[in-house]
Every structure is written in structure tokens, then in C-alpha cells.
Structure 1
């Protein structure tokens, strides 16, 4: 970061400077942690005044602190010290608002202090948030450096999955055929979801290997179907669905193609009409105000337009099951304008238009969008994008499996997200866990499956 200042002798009445800042939910958490102010009026999702509506007001002193950012970085800049600050609040700002902090030099004093007029406004509607007056000691020495850096902060929490688990626990346990749970990790995930009341497992696989994987953990009360052949075990799971004995399928210790192959069989499979099977990662990313869905990152390698229609529609359907009133779909490309040489940008524009014409229903679809302006309002505004989806997308449609898989794993391993994996397009949800998934990820996958099944079946188990 490059910082320079304006020393006392250079300052003149009327000099002004301003900064704009998009207030995020993480700002509210960071300020609460730093200040010790846990007033629910200022915490995302909390209702502090009992009217049933989350308040999410930015604390007054957080807004006031934005003035110090202008003082310390622009006018007068590095070397400035506060003497006093008066504040009068005229309105409130919330998470998601962009505010502008402005300082104007009013008067210089012989002792080296400067009186400055201070104000904070909301440019979107011109609302006045704060006014006041600052008395500061202006710097006397020149400062001009570009090596000022501070550590980044990550607010690491997974409140979205915790909320999904609470909702799913209120449902009857989902009868789930678990295919080849023959290692400790896959079996323990199913048993953990069973203990949490999310599923009632039916274990299908090599009975001896299942017993070995269980170790000292009791399998009393758990139905086990002895079938050592993995593809036959997957076919048996499909049969249980047709027999109405299972309402979901969970992957155990077998290859994904072995699990899915029986599901696409024309006579005994589970496909619904001609809709393709597609995969969705539901991701709880620290700092994001809502879950992020990434699709398709595990099944369709290089989807054509027809397949992308199913990918988008399946994801919208799942988002609705998880409580989204209006899913916002960002169809990703390398650019946010249509370039005939970039096929993903052409497909994205077509998907957006197909949604406008009712060929994709239930959500708003916009594309092409680059990753930054799909999820970041500031980036979207910088590019001049004003549509409902830009900067707010909760479904990200990747152009192919490479991009989708890389994006999902980047969110997991660099952005510290937890992920839940589900295959859609079949008669029942298919829980697709990875061997490296945490306990939270496995539970969340079961919760997502239970909530989706509950909506599609009208709330029946």
C-alpha cells in the first residue's frame, strides 16, 4: 500500500478528501470482536429490537472509525493524531450499504492543529449518516512510502451449515442406502448422521469389511445387506428406491462411476425423464452472507448447452429447497461480455436468455460473469454491472469440470469453506462425499439431501 501525507504547511481551508467503503457482514463481526460490543442490533441475522426482522445496523462507532481512515491515509495522512471528535448521527447504515466518508479542512491553528468538518453519507440515496467536527494534530514531516502492509483477516465460521443442520434435525430421518461403506471414514460419516437423527442408514456392501471398518462401534439396529460387488451394491440401492425402502443414496468407499452407472440404466435406473444427472457443491464460505453453490464439479466433464440447462435447473431447484426465495445464478466465464471466441461466454448469454424466456425457471440467471463480478458487489459496480445477480450470485455455474472442481477446492483449501456434495436429476438425492471430507461436510451433505427430499416429497420422510 502506498501512503503519502500533506504536512501542516501545505494544508489550506477547503481542502477535502473522501473514501468509499462497502460494509460487509464480516465488518460487523470483526468490529464486535475488536470492541467487545455484542449488541445484537449490530450482528448479522440477529433481531435486537424484537420486531422479527434482522437489524444488521453498522455500529455508530464503526461508522465514525471510517473517518479516521481518511485522516490517517489521505488528509492530512500518515503522522496525523486525533485531539477531539464530535459526532452527530442522522441515520443508519447496514451490511451491504456503500458509504462515503468525507473530511474538509476548516481552519488551521498556530499550535499545529487543524479543525476539519467530517461527514459520512450513503451515495446510493444521498442519505446523511453522520456529521461532526475533528480537531487533529497535523504532521510536520513528509511521509511517502509504498511498503506499508497489514495482515489479512479471515472470519472463519460455518453458520450456514449449522442452520441447515438445525432445520434438517426437525425432519424425520431420511432412509438412506449407503453403498460400500467399507472403510472407517465412509462408515463413520453414515453412522454420525444416524446418531444426529438425519438419516436411517441401510448399509450395502461386504459385511465382513463393514464390520472391520466399524471397529469397536456397535452396528446394532443397523440393517446390513451383504453384497461384496460394488456395482451390484449400487444396483441394489437403486432397487431399494424403486421398492420405496430408500429415499436417498450415499456414496461409500467405491468409485463415483460405479455408483452412478446403475442409476442411468434405462429400465432399472433412477433418472427423471431426460434430465441429466448433475453435481452440486453447497459451500459454506467464511465471510459470505449466504451459502455458495458450485456446479458442475464432479460429473459432466465438458457440458454442452443442453446439459448446462439441466445443471442450472437442478441447482435452482436445490437452492429453493435450502430456503432461497429467489436463487441468483451467475454463469461463469473469463469475461463479462460475450466473445464469440470464448464458447463459455456464448453459452452463458444463451442460458441467461433462456431463463428470460421461461426455459429455465425458479431463479434469475445472468451471464457471462467473471468470478469477481459474480460474487463481489464492488467489482460488479466497477465494471458497471447493475443487474440483480452481479455481485450477489449464490449459484456459480462453471464452464466445465476442470474449472468447477478447481473453484470448489480453492474455496475449501484456501478460503476455508466446508462443502456438501449432492447429485441431482435422479428420483432421490445422491449424497456424494469425498474421502477427505470433514465430519461437518458429511453431516451437511445429509442435511442438504434431507431438506431437498422433504420439499420434493411434500414433507414426507
Structure 2
């Protein structure tokens, strides 16, 4: 074969090694960092759904105390080296032995190596020692492969594999609805539902057994929206008020007097709604600052997670952030996360006086150490990649109980949080629900552009909170 002289060509083309080109001691390798998606894809393709590999709760009680990779995931990587690097294209497997010496966990990086140890010219057969070595230099898997090496040189363009993305197929909403199925619906003030989407969302939540809506707004406009959406208002309670400002004020009265246990935003601006609910005179304030939480689920992350605050507090102070964290921890508890891992986000993972977000993160973590913030595990500052990727955290040398597995992402300000949440929703296939905590009643605060599923999921979370507030008022 003609040697490659162009570095770009070497990246674009793949060439094998024929038997006659092999020599004892020749070696090749590749590196791969294990992700949760790798485990899930291997389980799907192999059918091996052993909970040791895919169920963190089950795996935490096993001898390995956590999820580990399927052993043959490493075996498949050895096959990849043999088939693409040494000897490469045209190689035929004859046999493979493997010994599994150490577990491989999410975030571990393996160096997969093969080395020629013997050549049989009569059979055109090569024997190669195989090893998977982790980032600490420990051998996780070792063995030996026997292959028929190719007789002819093969050169072809390097393939680009299609991106594979696992989808939950919307099962997050179904799981949420199953979780609240035993709870009785609560009366909810739906504020100014005068467009088809917000009205249909409220009536869908009624049909799902989540709320008993009190529709507050101009009756004629509500009925027109019902006609547009094809919604039957039979049995629905309507409070006829002249405009959106009056609707928000009436919702505050009903909530303060205990006549409704949830407030749901309809077709009005967030500022107008919150302006009616938050003044001290409205009677809905608590000792905490109110804050918004997005509960999100995306195919790229193995668990639901919370982003806060992306809708209420524009530039929160340290004291504001402490309440934002407390509210998020409360929500995590309500949805079943007993000890949520809270990542305080910044642009970097080091504390710098020139970046106030990093100072706030350090202070919040110290407040948690001193018991001023309880119920969760805090760490920060953490850049976004370190908060959600164990591999990224390992590369940067971050040892943390939160990094790579955060349940709550606390953003520096509203702008960064809002952009993060909407990027995940529109470009990351994330499903979301929005809720405001810190008031005496939960407030469903979805965007006017949010789909039906988001509105229903938000009402389901509000139902969970409303029942919790009956015994543990905020």
C-alpha cells in the first residue's frame, strides 16, 4: 500500500493490515468512555435487561453498589479494534477468550488494546492479546483472540455512524399520572383561560382527574375559546370577570381563603399573574422567596431533573438562591427523590472573585455544610458538563457526590436558566413541566407555547404539592 502523506486523508480513509504486513508486537488501541446511553443501547440490542446494569436503585444494593457495564460491552470494543484497526477490514474472528477482572462504571474510560503475539503462515492466522485498561491503569478485561488476517489490502472511506438517541416515548407523563392516580383532584383557579390551548389544557387536566377547574375570566371569551378548541364546558365552574387583571386578583382571593388549592396560569403574562399573587396583601406569601422549577426529562440523561430558577427571579441574590435551592429540594422530595443531588452551576468549576456566580455557589455549599440548607447534597460551582457528565467531571479531576449525576441544576440567573431549559426542550427532545413554589399554594406556570403534555404534567405536580401542603404547609 502507498503510505499516507496527507494527514487529512489519514483521518478520512481506513486501511487494513494484511497477514504479510503483520509482525509480532504490532499493537493498536482505541479509547471509549462508558455512558449511561452505552449501557441502555447494549441492553436493547442484546436483550440483557439484568437490573444490575439498568436499575440504579436495584444496583445500589448489590456487591458492586451501583450500575456497571455489561461484561460483553468491553468484548464488543475488542471486536471493534480487531475489525477496524488491527488487522482491520477483512478480518475473520476464529475464537475469543475473556476474563472479567474489574467492573466498569459510568464515566470510566477504557483503553482497549490488541497486540499480535503469534502468527501462523500456514493458516494465515494471527493470535492477539487483548486488554481493556481503565483510567487508573487497572486491567478490567483481558483475553486472547485468534483471527484470520486479510490477504488483500483494503482501503475505504471512514464511515460516519448515524446518531442514535433513546426516546422515552412520552412515558414520563404516564408514570407521573400513575403516581397521582390515588389522589383526589383539587380545586384549581384557572386564570384567564381565553385561548384554545390554555383552556384545553385545563380541561384535559380535569379529564385526567387532577383538578376541578374554576375558570376565571370573561365568560364570552372563555366560551369562544371552548368552541374553537372543541371543548365541552358542561359542569365547569366559571367566574365571570371583565379582564385578565381582575381574573388574577380573584384567583388570589380564592387561594388566600382556601377555596382553591392550586392556581393555574392561563392566557395572560406571567408578570400580571404574579403581580396579583405576590403582594403581602394577597395573603399568599410565606417566609421563603417564591421560585420557579422546571421538571425535565430528556433522552440524553438517565433521570428526571429540575432546573431552577428560569422564570421568576431575574438576578437572584445569595439569600434568594438559598430559597431557590430549598424550594427545589422540597419539590425533589415530593416527586420521590429522598436525597437530591444539587449542582450549583457557573461557567467554571473553580471559585473566582471575578465571577460572582462562583462565589454564590461556594457560599451555598458552606450554608449546606452548616445546616442552613437541608435535605439534599450540594456541590458547586460546577460547569454544566461537569454537573451532568461523569466523564467530563473525571477528566477535570472533580471528585464529587453530585458531579455527573445531578438531580437539581441551580442556574446563576433567569436568562441562563430560561435559555438552558428551552434549548433542552426544543433541541434536546426534553419534556417539561413548570411549577412555582414558595407561596401557600402551588402555581402552575407554563409558557403559552407549551404543549398539552406539559400542562397536564404541571397540574399533576401541583396535585402532589397541594396534598403535601395539607399536612405540611409551606
Report the TM range for the smaller structure's normalisation.
0.7 to 0.9
Per the alignment, residue 199 of structure 2 pairs with 187
Assess if the C-alpha contact under 8 Å between 2:200 and 2:226 holds in 1.
Answer: yes
Per the alignment, residue 96 of structure 2 pairs with 86
1:386 to 399, 404, 407: 399
The alpha carbon displacement at 1:375 in A equals 0.5
Assess if the C-alpha contact under 8 Å between 1:6 and 1:139 holds in 2.
Answer: no
1:209 to 202, 221, 232: 221
Deviates more, 1:156-165 or 1:202-211: 156-165
Per the alignment, residue 4 of structure 2 pairs with none
Assess if the C-alpha contact under 8 Å between 2:193 and 2:199 holds in 1.
Answer: yes
The alpha carbon displacement at 1:174 in A equals 2.6
The alpha carbon displacement at 1:143 in A equals 5.9
Per the alignment, residue 231 of structure 1 pairs with 245
Per the alignment, residue 349 of structure 2 pairs with 336
**Residues 147-184 of structure 1 deviation map (CA, whole Å, 9 limit, x = unaligned):** 65322121122444432221022211132111111111
Per the alignment, residue 5 of structure 2 pairs with none
Q: Distance in 2 between matches of 1:122 and 1:139?
A: 34
Per the alignment, residue 233 of structure 2 pairs with 219
**Residues 359-380 of structure 1 deviation map (CA, whole Å, 9 limit, x = unaligned):** 2111111111111111000000
SS at match of 2:38: helix
Q: Distance in 1 between matches of 2:57 and 2:94?
A: 33
Per the alignment, residue 76 of structure 2 pairs with 65
Per the alignment, residue 174 of structure 2 pairs with 162
Q: When the two structures are superposed, what TM-score results if normalisation uses the length of structure 2?
A: 0.86
**Residues 397-439 of structure 1 deviation map (CA, whole Å, 9 limit, x = unaligned):** 1111111111001101111101101111111111011122122
Q: When the two structures are superposed, what TM-score results if normalisation uses the length of structure 1?
A: 0.88
Deviates more, 1:294-303 or 1:247-256: 294-303
Q: Distance in 1 between matches of 2:57 and 2:243?
A: 54
Q: Distance in 2 between matches of 1:342 and 1:160?
A: 37
Shift in CA distance, 194/123, structure 1 to aligned 2, threshold 3 Å: same
1:171 aligns to 2:188 (yes or no): no
Q: Where does 1:90-105 land on structure 2 (aligned, <5 Å)? A: 90=100, 96=106, 98=108, 100=110, 101-105=112-116
Per the alignment, residue 24 of structure 1 pairs with 35
1:347 aligns to 2:360 (yes or no): yes
The alpha carbon displacement at 1:117 in A equals 2.5
* Structure 2: gaps spanning 5 or more residues: 1-10
Q: Distance in 1 between matches of 2:163 and 2:344?
A: 29
Per the alignment, residue 311 of structure 2 pairs with 298
Assess if the C-alpha contact under 8 Å between 2:265 and 2:443 holds in 1.
Answer: yes
The alpha carbon displacement at 1:199 in A equals 1.5
Deviates more, 1:150-159 or 1:313-322: 150-159
SS at match of 1:331: strand
1:44 aligns to 2:19 (yes or no): no
The alpha carbon displacement at 1:48 in A equals 11
Shift in CA distance, 262/339, structure 1 to aligned 2, threshold 3 Å: same
Q: Distance in 2 between matches of 1:459 and 1:88?
A: 56
The count of residues paired between Structure 1 and Structure 2 equals: 455
Assess if the C-alpha contact under 8 Å between 1:340 and 1:346 holds in 2.
Answer: yes
1:361 to 352, 371, 374: 374
SS at match of 1:457: helix
1:271 aligns to 2:285 (yes or no): yes
